[in-house]
Structure 1
Amino acid sequence: MKGLLLRLSALDADAESAVRVIAYFDALVAARADAASLVRATAALAECGAGLATPDTGRVRYSEDGMPRSADGSTEPKHVSGWMSLGGGGRVWLERPGPPRPLDELVLERMAIAAQAINTRARPSLHIADPALVELVLSDRESAEDRARALRLLGLLPDVTVRAMAISLPAGMDVGVQAVALMARGRLGRRTVRVAVLGRMAAVLLQDRTAAASPSGDLRVALAERLSGRTSTTADDQPAETSAGGQQVSAGFDWSTGPWDGAAQPRVGIGGPVDGLDARHSWRQACLALRFAAPGSADSLVVDYSELGSVALLADVPVDRLRSNPDVRALDGLAQAPSGAADIAVLEAYCQANSLRQAAAVLHLHHSSVAARVAHLEDVLGWRLDEPEGRFRARLALLARRLATAL
């Protein structure tokens, strides 16, 4: 980008200078600059600090000498001389210590346009896929040649890492629509995403060339925002894509509507990364992880197979044995009480937290209320929940009950 060397101090506030600024940012977009390159180039042009913040990129800041501002430990700008908002909750800004220069407003405007172009490129390639092709990719019976052909027809590459996900909703809810909405809001960056409805579940295939980390964190954030009512979707937030069959579909589903309490929440299982031709192995892991997912918090709704570790061995226990276990039956009896759902939620939170206060924070209750409920649970179940062994027993029983009721 040697041809982009330009400084505002060398420009006058005239039409010719404005055209040069516009051309500067057009060249950045044409060169497919990423967020960091855009901010660094803007800081060099403006001869002051510059920044960009979006849900996809996070906060990116550079000083005029090309150094990241976060390197000195300062994540928040001390002085913002001008800023401009972006669609989807983002913004760009300049950190000029003195008075603004005549072209600063134009710089911010063109930086915002470039940032929106970058953000559009970074959105996931989200397609509603042909279920028959996805079933073929996930099949144990089909040949490698047939699976490779199906992957290519889906727009995926057989020799690039793929990760499968399984999403479930109660009967009567459109799991396909909800899966598309979740993927669109999940900040999945440049991953290629394919969604297909297989029976009562949605199968999702994720692929990119960098073998990116698990999407579990991003999906939990998206679900946490939805559960707390903070998410708002607009037409600018989500793309409309074309399916494998050429049908236009919208990922801009307004998922602020519809039942989302208790069992109506989507459950997500995530498989591990595998070669494209081995997607069926990741799918099996995703389906197993889905059995461990439970309504409640975003953490319990999204389960990554790689995070289960030895706990995954519980899935090998026959369901009849799980259901007949005395501890599982005790939890079933507890759940039938008028306050059963709340009691199970408190027990889940307390077993996962390190203290009553942490459990109370998760449940949005006063810690004294949680303490009273825990004492009640000890009386009903006969378990000492203030001791590690008692909490382990309760946690194991909760997991066993989850597996017993997931099928």
Structure 2
Amino acid sequence: MKGLLLQLSALDADAESAVRVIAYFDALVAARADVASLVRATAALAECGAGLETADTGRVRYRQDGTPAPSERSAAPEQPERSEQPEQPAADESAGLGHVSGWMRLDDDGGRVWLERPGPPRPLDEIVLERMAIAARAIGTRVRPSLHIADPALVELVLSDRESAEDRARALRLLGLLPDVAVRAVAISPPAGADVGVQAVALMARGRLGRRTVRVAVLGRMAAVLIQDRAVAASPASDLRLALAERPSSRTGTTVPQDGERDGTSPGGRQAGAGFDRSTSASTGHWDAAAQPRVGIGGPVDGLDARVSWRQARLALRFAAPGSADALVVDYAELGSVALLADVPVDRLRSDPDVRALDVLAQGPAGPGDIAVLEAYCQATSLRQAAAVLHLHHSSVAVRVANLEDVLGWRLDEPEGRFRARLALLARRLATAP
């Protein structure tokens, strides 16, 4: 307060005006104004352009007439050394605003507020900036949960191919997202019988997404998630895989039948699953893949192009399958040329001889276990690694692989044979994906 009192004492002639400025910003804080409202109100009060930039909000600028001004950057720039003065925000001549006439630091992360006044600063500009900064800090320290259940209608509008850019931008703002900051879409499909919204929210809450802004909406039998952050280029795939792998399920787990179990059940009577996994059941401390959601992750795009990331996320979801956390969470960026398989019509995939051979295998008495062994063996680098994934002895896996070679006619000990099997498994996964 000492600095503020010194400023007030230097403004004897305008002391009443200074008090009004203080009251103006206090009222904004009391009314729980958001960042955009604060900048817009400052521009109106100062009768010139105003701006604010933080790591969380990116750059927000408004003209004197209350209309938003374009932002040169959607996030704070790289920060200078602490011993240097922070970078002064640049003017935007194309927006019809003057040069930056004054600015003030908000935090050590490079946050700042400024006025864009043509000509020299006015006497009250300093106190306007100081009170704007105080209000911005107050707004920024409010408890704002980053994970929200969103209005499905707004999310559908953001992801629509038919809506105008203006409508999509408005929907993004209503969701608490910034149209000019990158966004990433995630598609989540729950296990059979599970609540879509509960599964999606629980997974995202466990995903250690930090300061990212997350919006979750239920669209039919799928959850759509929008993630926004200045570091959105970093995929959440590893965080979500870790979240899935760390959380045992209370549901009964899936196991691969041991040799001689031809009825499709384990000794404990559990039904064998359709995919390989690292688990038996939560009661034995193992992780249950069959009770976990499948996840597809799209790439980062401009907020107004969220529909592109959503298409990528849904495509990646088709490749996700019950199994390890790596199999359950598929990042579109990690698919590479494998994503081209998704362009093949489903009918053609289903009619492929290799896919049909796997369908016949899966319908056999030990079918789910055989498919699980084939999946694990094709992805592993050795019999022992596949055995570790399946919780079987490596000699049992060797016997099963030999039986699979006889049934399918593929040489699984050769690169070409394993590639053929892997391709057939992927094609079958796409053909049977919900």
The TM-score bracket by the shorter chain reads 0.5 to 0.7
Per-residue CA distance 1:21-59 (angstroms, 9 max, x = gap)? xxxxxxxxxxxxxxxxxxxxxxxxxxxxxxxxxxxxxxx
1:206 is paired with a residue whose SS is strand
Cα distance between partner residues in 2 of 1:386 and 1:227: 34
The residue identity in structure 1 corresponding to 2:229 is D
2:208 is paired with a residue whose SS is coil
1:345 aligns with one of 361, 372, 375: 372
Shift in CA distance, 271/124, structure 1 to aligned 2, threshold 3 Å = farther
1:269 aligns with one of 296, 310, 316: 296
Residues 289 and 324 of structure 2 are in contact (CA less than 8 Å); yes or no, is this contact kept in structure 1? no
Asked if residue 196 in structure 1 is aligned to residue 221 in structure 2, the reply is no
Cα distance between partner residues in 1 of 2:142 and 2:336: 36
Cα distance between partner residues in 2 of 1:294 and 1:185: 20
1:164 aligns with one of 171, 185, 194: 185
2:231 is paired with a residue whose SS is coil
Aligned residue for 1:329?
Answer: 356
Post-superposition offset of 1:263: 4.6
Post-superposition offset of 1:345: 1.2
Count of aligned pairs: 260
Cα distance between partner residues in 1 of 2:340 and 2:144: 36
Shift in CA distance, 381/179, structure 1 to aligned 2, threshold 3 Å = same
Aligned residue for 1:107?
Answer: none
Shift in CA distance, 152/345, structure 1 to aligned 2, threshold 3 Å = same
The residue identity in structure 2 corresponding to 1:383 is W
The residue identity in structure 1 corresponding to 2:202 is A
Post-superposition offset of 1:383: 0.6
2:421 is paired with a residue whose SS is helix
Asked if residue 385 in structure 1 is aligned to residue 406 in structure 2, the reply is no
Shift in CA distance, 170/225, structure 1 to aligned 2, threshold 3 Å = closer
Q: Which has the larger radius of gyration?
A: 2
Shift in CA distance, 228/367, structure 1 to aligned 2, threshold 3 Å = farther
Aligned residue for 1:303?
Answer: 330
2:173 is paired with a residue whose SS is helix
1:269 is paired with a residue whose SS is strand
Equivalent pairs: percent with the same residue?
88
More moved, 208-217 vs 389-398: 208-217
Per-residue CA distance 1:97-127 (angstroms, 9 max, x = gap)? xxxxxxxxxxxxxxxxxxxxxxx99997110
Aligned residue for 1:143?
Answer: 164
Aligned residue for 2:198?
Answer: 177
Shift in CA distance, 183/378, structure 1 to aligned 2, threshold 3 Å = same
Residues 211 and 229 of structure 2 are in contact (CA less than 8 Å); yes or no, is this contact kept in structure 1? yes
Post-superposition offset of 1:170: 4.2
Post-superposition offset of 1:169: 2.1
1:274 is paired with a residue whose SS is coil
Matches within 5 A, 1:214-363: 214-227=235-248, 263-363=290-390
| Structure 2 unmatched ranges of 5 or more | 1-140, 251-281
Asked if residue 126 in structure 1 is aligned to residue 147 in structure 2, the reply is yes
Asked if residue 395 in structure 1 is aligned to residue 422 in structure 2, the reply is yes
Cα distance between partner residues in 1 of 2:381 and 2:225: 34
| Structure 1 unmatched ranges of 5 or more | 1-119, 230-255
Matches within 5 A, 1:18-33: none
Normalising by structure 2, what TM-score?
A: 0.57
Post-superposition offset of 1:367: 1.2
The residue identity in structure 1 corresponding to 2:194 is M
Post-superposition offset of 1:228: 7.7
Cα distance between partner residues in 2 of 1:345 and 1:290: 19
2:381 is paired with a residue whose SS is coil
Shift in CA distance, 362/222, structure 1 to aligned 2, threshold 3 Å = same
Post-superposition offset of 1:389: 0.3
Per-residue CA distance 1:253-292 (angstroms, 9 max, x = gap)? xxx89xx856543110000011111100000000000000
Cα distance between partner residues in 1 of 2:246 and 2:363: 30
Post-superposition offset of 1:341: 1.2
The residue identity in structure 2 corresponding to 1:149 is R
Cα distance between partner residues in 2 of 1:129 and 1:284: 19
Cα distance between partner residues in 1 of 2:179 and 2:361: 49
Normalising by structure 1, what TM-score?
A: 0.61
Residues 171 and 200 of structure 1 are in contact (CA less than 8 Å); yes or no, is this contact kept in structure 2? no
Post-superposition offset of 1:391: 0.3
The residue identity in structure 2 corresponding to 1:208 is D
Cα distance between partner residues in 2 of 1:292 and 1:121: 40
Residues 123 and 187 of structure 1 are in contact (CA less than 8 Å); yes or no, is this contact kept in structure 2? no
Cα distance between partner residues in 1 of 2:200 and 2:289: 18
1:136 is paired with a residue whose SS is helix
The residue identity in structure 2 corresponding to 1:219 is L
Cα distance between partner residues in 1 of 2:356 and 2:338: 20
2:218 is paired with a residue whose SS is strand
Residues 159 and 307 of structure 2 are in contact (CA less than 8 Å); yes or no, is this contact kept in structure 1? yes
1:196 is paired with a residue whose SS is strand
Cα distance between partner residues in 1 of 2:395 and 2:246: 27
2:247 is paired with a residue whose SS is helix
Post-superposition offset of 1:172: 3.1
Matches within 5 A, 1:99-118: none
1:194 is paired with a residue whose SS is strand
